[in-house]
C-alpha cells in the first residue's frame, strides 16, 4: 500500500501554509514508547494528560511530548522530565525551561497566559541552542517513524542545535517533518543537510524559506501570506514580519502583513481543496485537504 508521504510527493503537494497553528508550544519530556494519542496513551499519567489537553484548548498553547533521539526502552521507572515552554511571536519569541521530578507540577502553568506570551515567571530562560523537533510517532502515522526516526538519528549530535523527537506537529504526509523553536517555523520533506541550513539561519535570526510549511504563530492564510511577502521582498529576518488574522470568508481571504519598518502589504489568499484526493494519513480514506494559496500581494502606504 502506498504511504501518505509517497502519495503527497508524487502529487507534488505544496508545503506552504500547512503548519500546525500554535502561538506557544509546551514540550514535555516523556521517555518510552508513545501511543497514537500520546498525552493519554503513553507513560504519562493519562488523567494528567487529559487535564493538560483540556486546560490548553483554545488558548493558543499546543502540548506535545518529546524524547531524546535513539532507542526507547519500555521503562516505567521514575525519570526527571525536561519541559520547554516556547512562545513564537515576532519580537517576543522566547523559550523557558524546567526539569521536573513529577510532571504533575505542570498544573501550576497557565496555558492561556502562555498563549498570550506571558510565562508568568515559569521556569528559567533557555540559554541553549535552538530546539529542533522531529516528528517520529509511528503509532500516529508510520511515515513519521519510517522517515522521521532516521532523520532524528542523523541529527542527534548536530552542532548548534538541541534535537528532540516529538509526538505530533501535524502533516504526516509531509514526513519527515520538523519544528524549530523559538520562532516556530515548520518544515517538511527535509534531510539533515537542509536542517543544518535551517539551524544556521535560526542562530543568525534568519528564516530559511525552502521547504518551509509556515510559522505556527499565524493561522494558515497568514502562513501563506507571510511566505508570499518574503518571496516578493527577499526579507529573511525572522522577526521582521507579522501577519494579522485573516479577514473575509472562504474561499477569498485577505491578510494584512506588516514589516517592522512600517511597510505593509495586503495579500489575497485563496482557500481551495487539494485535488485529486489523497490520504492525509496512512490508512485513512482519501480526502481533499484545504489548500491556501497567496494570489496577489499588494503594497500599501506605510503605516
Residue ranges making up the domain that contains 202: 1-239
Q: How many domains does the chain have?
A: 1
Residue 275 lies in a domain: no
First to last CA, the chain: 54
pLDDT at 139: 87
Domain membership of residue 280 (yes or no) is: no
Radius of gyration of the chain (CA): 19
- The pLDDT assigned to 135 comes to 96
* pLDDT single digits (tens) 131-188: 999 999 988 899 999 999 999 999 999 999 999 999 989 999 999 999 999 999 999 9
Is the distance from CB of 175 to CB of 136 less than 8 angstroms?
A: no
Task: Report, as ranges of residue numbers, the positions in the chain whose pLDDT lies below 70.
Answer: 72-78
Cβ atoms of 81 and 99 closer than 8 Å: yes
163 close to 27: Cβ distance less than 8 angstroms: no
For residue 82, tell me if it sits in a domain. Answer: yes
Q: Where are the beta strands (DSSP E) in 89-161?
A: 94-100, 124-125, 131-135
* pLDDT of 74: 59
Note the pLDDT of residue 50.
95
User: Does 196 map to a domain?
Assistant: yes
In a domain, 274, yes or no: no
Task: Identify whether 132 is preceded by a cis peptide bond (ω within 30 of 0).
Answer: no
- 211: in domain: yes
Query: Listing from the earlier edge strand, what are the strands of the sheet with 81-87?
Result: 124-125, 94-100, 81-87, 24-29, 61-67, 162-166, 131-135, 177-181, 185-188, 212-215
Amino acid at each position: 500500500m502506498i504511504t501518505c508521504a509517497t502519495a503527497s510527493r508524487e502529487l507534488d503537494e505544496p508545503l506552504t501554509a500547512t503548519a500546525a497553528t500554535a502561538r506557544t508550544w509546551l514540550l514535555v519530556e516523556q521517555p518510552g514508547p508513545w501511543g497514537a494519542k500520546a498525552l493519554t496513551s503513553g507513560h504519562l499519567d493519562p488523567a494528567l494528560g487529559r487535564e493538560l489537553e483540556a486546560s490548553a484548548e483554545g488558548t493558543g498553547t499546543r502540548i506535545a511530548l518529546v524524547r531524546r533521539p535513539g532507542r526507547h526502552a519500555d521503562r516505567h521507572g521514575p525519570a526527571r522530565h525536561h519541559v520547554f515552554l516556547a512562545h513564537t511571536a515576532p519580537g517576543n519569541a522566547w523559550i523557558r525551561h524546567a526539569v521536573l521530578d513529577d510532571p504533575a507540577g505542570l498544573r501550576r502553568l497557565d496555558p492561556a497566559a502562555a498563549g498570550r506570551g506571558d510565562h508568568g515567571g515559569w521556569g528559567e530562560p533557555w540559554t541553549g541552542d535552538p530546539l529542533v523537533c522531529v516528528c517520529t510517532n509511528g503509532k500516529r502515522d508510520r511515515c513519521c517513524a519510517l522517515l522521521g526516526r532516521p532523520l532524528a538519528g542523523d541529527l542527534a549530535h548536530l552542532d548548534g542545535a538541541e534535537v528532540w523527537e516529538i509526538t505530533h506537529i501535524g502533516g504526516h504526509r509531509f514526513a519527515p517533518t520538523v519544528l524549530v523553536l523559538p520562532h516556530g517555523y515548520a518544515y517538511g520533506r527535509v534531510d539533515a543537510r537542509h536542517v543544518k541550513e535551517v539551524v544556521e539561519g535560526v542562530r543568525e535570526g534568519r528564516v530559511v524559506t525552502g521547504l518551509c510549511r509556515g510559522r505556527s504563530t499565524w493561522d494558515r492564510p497568514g502562513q501563506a501570506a507571510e511566505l508570499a511577502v518574503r518571496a516578493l521582498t527577499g526579507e529573511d529576518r525572522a522577526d521582521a514580519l507579522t501577519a494579522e488574522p485573516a479577514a473575509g470568508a472562504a474561499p477569498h481571504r485577505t491578510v494584512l502583513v506588516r514589516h517592522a519598518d512600517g511597510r505593509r502589504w495586503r495579500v489575497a489568499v485563496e482557500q481551495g481543496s487539494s485535488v485529486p484526493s489523497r490520504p492525509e494519513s496512512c490508512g485513512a480514506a482519501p480526502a481533499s485537504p484545504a489548500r491556501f494559496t497567496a494570489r496577489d500581494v499588494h503594497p500599501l502606504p506605510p503605516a
